[in-house]
């Protein structure tokens, strides 16, 4: 019964969000969406690292992040990294990606719990964590698009910026040469991420009976803050 209920919620979060929100609020389970997200991020990490030319990939990473290295030092670091199995590198990416997504969802839920405490709306951490996790499910569509993109093209020299065909960078054919890391991250966002944020706004409204405007302000506040800090750092 629990498995059937979780599958129904997974379907409803796409097709009938209000029914999903009602189920999440009364039965705040997280294991199915969390497992799907972890498997999804792990799958794209393993797929990409087993397809890309490791030596080329590491060299690109070093050029972008360690401009103070000499060509000889970079070649030596690239050679050492290229000797590592793609499976190991993929596993490292899988663990890192899984930790990041779980930590992000938990911290976001903790923030909403703090808002609930301040406003006395009665919603608990477990409910917010469940809502944020379920609302992140549309991101899986973007992950599937990435896996298909890597599998069905020559990915040996495919840059990380080019993995996601749905990113705004790729959809709008924007040249990222000369852009900083923060700008690249923003352009790497795709419509499924916006879909997830919109679901979170309406989920917050359903949980608290607040207006759409208030819900959007509260849910988007951390995102706006992060973007503002990123812009400020790039200007310094």
Q: What is the pLDDT of residue 69?
A: 64
Residue 197 to residues 19, 34, 66, 137, Cα–Cα distance (Å): 18, 17, 34, 11
Q: Which two tokens stand for residue 230?
A: 């990123």
What pLDDT is attached to residue 41? 93
Tokens of 56: 């080329």
SS3 177: coil
Give the model confidence (pLDDT) of 1-19 as tens digits: 455 588 899 999 999 999 9
Q: How many residues are listed for the chain in this entry?
A: 236
Contact 176, 160 (CB under 8 A): no
Q: Which residue has the tokens 């060509």?
A: 71
Q: What's the pTM value of the predicted model, to 2 decimals?
A: 0.88
The helix/strand/coil state of 123 is: coil
Q: Give per-residue pLDDT as tens, 166-177.
A: 988 888 887 776
* Rounded Cα gap, residues 51 and 3, in angstroms: 35
Whole-angstrom distance, CA of residue 155 vs CA of residue 147: 11
Residue 144 is predicted with a pLDDT of: 94
What is the Cα–Cα distance from 134 to 119, expressed in whole angstroms? 23
Judged against a pLDDT cut of 90, whether residue 114 lies above it is answered with: yes
Q: How far apart, in Å, are the Cα atoms of 220 and each of 11, 125, 186, 200, 215? A: 25, 18, 15, 9, 8
Alpha-helical segments (H) within 30-85: 31-49, 54-65, 71-82
């Amino acid at each position: 019964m629990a498995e059937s209920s979780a599958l129904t919620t997974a379907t409803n979060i796409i097709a009938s969000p209000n029914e999903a929100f009602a189920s999440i609020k009364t039965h705040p389970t997280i294991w199915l969406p969390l497992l799907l997200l972890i498997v999804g991020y792990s799958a794209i990490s393993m797929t990409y690292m087993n397809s890309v030319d490791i030596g080329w990939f590491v060299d690109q990473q070093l050029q972008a992040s360690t401009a103070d290295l000499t060509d000889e030092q970079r070649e030596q670091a690239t050679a050492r990294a290229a000797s590592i199995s793609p499976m190991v590198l993929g596993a490292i990416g899988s663990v890192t990606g899984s930790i990041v997504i779980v930590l992000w969802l938990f911290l976001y839920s903790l923030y909403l719990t703090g808002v609930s405490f301040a406003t006395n709306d009665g919603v608990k951490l477990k409910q917010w964590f469940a809502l944020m996790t379920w609302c992140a499910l549309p991101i899986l569509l973007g992950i599937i698009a990435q896996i298909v993109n890597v599998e069905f093209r020559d990915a040996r020299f495919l840059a990380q910026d080019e993995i996601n065909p749905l990113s705004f960078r790729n959809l709008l054919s924007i040249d990222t040469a000369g852009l900083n890391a923060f700008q690249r991250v923003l352009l790497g966002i795709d419509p499924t991420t916006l879909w997830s944020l919109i679901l979170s706004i309406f989920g917050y409204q359903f949980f608290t009976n607040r207006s759409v405007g208030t819900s959007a302000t509260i849910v988007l506040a951390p995102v706006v803050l992060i973007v503002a800090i990123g812009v400020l750092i790039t200007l310094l």
